Amino acid sequence: MAIELNWALCSYRGGDGHQVIREEPERPATLDYLTRVARAAEEAGFVNILVPTGTHCMDPWATSSAISSNTRKIKFLVAFRPGLVGPTLAAQQINTFDRLTGGRLSLNVVSGVSSVDLKRYGYFADHDERYERNEEFLDILKRLWEESGPVTFKGRFHEVEDAEVFPPREGRRPPDIFLAGASPGARRLAARLGDVHVFHAVEPEVVAEDVREVSALAEEHSRERKLEFGIRHLVCVRETKEEARRAAERIVNESETITTGNWGPASRRESVTQQRVNELAGRGDLWVSDTIYMGVNRVRQGAGTMFVGTPEMVAAQIREYADIGVTRFIMHGWPHLEEAEIFGREVMPLLQDLSPVRLQEPELEQSIS
C-alpha cells in the first residue's frame, strides 16, 4: 500500500522559528507566513497540511479557508473537536469547504488531549465520555453524508430532527477521518468509524503491536475500507549525522519552557498517548537511538519524537514504520518552512519505492458564464 506524507502548520500563539517554543515568536502566525509554509509543503510533495486546534491556535476552519485560495493542490487536515459544534453544523462546514476547494479536505477528529482547554470552550465531558459522544456524533455525520432524505436521530448525547444540509455531498467521497489516541476508547472509535488511526511515534515495536491490536478490532466491524495507520512525529534533516544532532539539540536547548493549560501537567495526566511519549522521553537518555530524539518533550507536550539525521537515516526510519503497517506520516520540523523544503528536496526522492501518494489538481465546479 502506498504511503502518504503530510506536513503540519504553525498556526498557534508560538508561531515558528529556530526554537521549539518562545514567549515572543520569532515568526508570528500571519497569513503571509502560514501561506508560505503551506506552499512549501505543497511544492515538497506533501499531501495534507495539519491545521491544529485549541485556544492557543487560530481557528482551523478560518485559517484553512484563507490559505486555500493561495495554494493549488495541498489538502487541509483540519483538526476539530466535535463537542464544540453539533453534527449538522459540522456536516455543513465540511461539505462547504470540500465543495469550494474541490475536495481539498481531510478531518482530524480530536477527542482527548486536555480537559483544561476544553473547559475554556464550555465543554466539561470527561476523557472516556468524549469518545462515547464522538461515536454518536460521527454516526450522525455519516448519515448526513450518505442518506438522501432528512436525518432524525435521538441518542444518549445528541438529538437531531429532520436534519439536512446544503451543500449535499452528491455522491462525492467523504474526507478521510483521522482519529488519534492510544486509550481503549480511542481504539474502539477508530476501529469502527475511522479511516486512519494515528499514534504518536513511540518505538516501532510498540506501534507494530498497536497496529495488530487495532486491526483486529476493525475486523469486528463491517467496513467499506481497510483501516489505515499513521504516526505523528518531527524531523530534523541535515547533510551529516553530527550536524543534524547539533541542530536538533539546539532548537530544544534554546527554547523557553512555557507552562500553560495547553502544554502543562493536565495534558500529561489525561492523555494516554502523551503518557506513552513521556515514558519514552523519561528513560534517561533523550537519544533513544541514533535517529530518534526525545528532547522536544522537555519543553512542550504533543508530538515529541523527532527523526534526526542525514536524508538516508530519516528515510530509513520512516521505512521502518512503513514495514510494520504505517501508511500515513504527519510531521514537521523547525522552522516549518525550511524543514519542509529540506525534506522535499532530500528525503522525498529516497522514498519513491514506497509509492508516496501524489497530489492531483482539484476538480472545481465551473463558474456560470
119: left (phi over 0), alpha (psi -120 to 50) or beta: alpha
Q: Please give the Cα distance from 7 to 339 (Å, whole number).
A: 10
Q: Please give the Cα distance from 324 to 310 (Å, whole number).
A: 22
Residue type for position 234: L
Within 21-80, residue ranges assigned H as helices are 31-44, 60-68
Looking at residue 113, its pLDDT comes to: 67
Judge contact between 180 and 198, C-beta under 8 A: yes
Domain segments of the chain: what residues?
Answer: 4-234+309-354
- 3-state SS class at 64: helix
- CATH homologous superfamily of 4-234+309-354: Luciferase-like domain (3.20.20.30)
Buried b (16+ CB within 10 A) or exposed e, 44-68: bbbbbbbbbbbeebbebbebbbebb
Judge contact between 232 and 328, C-beta under 8 A: no
Looking at residue 217, its pLDDT comes to: 98
Looking at residue 92, its pLDDT comes to: 97
Q: Please give the Cα distance from 11 to 29 (Å, whole number).
A: 5
Q: Please give the Cα distance from 189 to 210 (Å, whole number).
A: 14
The C-alpha cell at 62 is 478560518
Please count the other Cβ atoms lying within 10 Å of the Cβ belonging to residue 198: 25
* Residue for grid cell 452528491: 170
Residue 265: cis peptide before it, omega within 30 degrees of 0:
no
Q: Please give the Cα distance from 256 to 267 (Å, whole number).
A: 19
**Helix-then-strand count for the chain, H and E:** 12, 12
Torsion of CA 167, 169, 172, 178, to 10 degrees: 110
Looking at residue 197, its pLDDT comes to: 98
The C-alpha cell at 72 is 493549488
Q: What is the pLDDT along the chain (369 residues), one digit of tens a residue?
A: 799 999 999 999 999 999 998 989 999 999 999 999 999 999 999 999 999 999 999 999 999 999 999 999 999 999 999 989 999 999 999 999 999 999 999 999 998 667 888 899 998 999 889 999 999 999 999 999 999 899 999 999 999 999 999 999 988 899 999 999 889 999 999 999 999 999 999 999 999 999 999 999 999 999 999 999 999 999 999 999 999 999 999 999 999 875 444 444 444 456 676 777 777 766 778 999 999 999 998 888 788 999 999 999 999 999 999 999 999 999 999 999 999 999 999 999 999 999 999 988 887 765 544
Looking at residue 287, its pLDDT comes to: 95
Give Cα 322 distance to the centre of its chain: 17
> Nearest-CA neighbor of 137 among 120, 164, 118, 156?
156
Looking at residue 369, its pLDDT comes to: 40
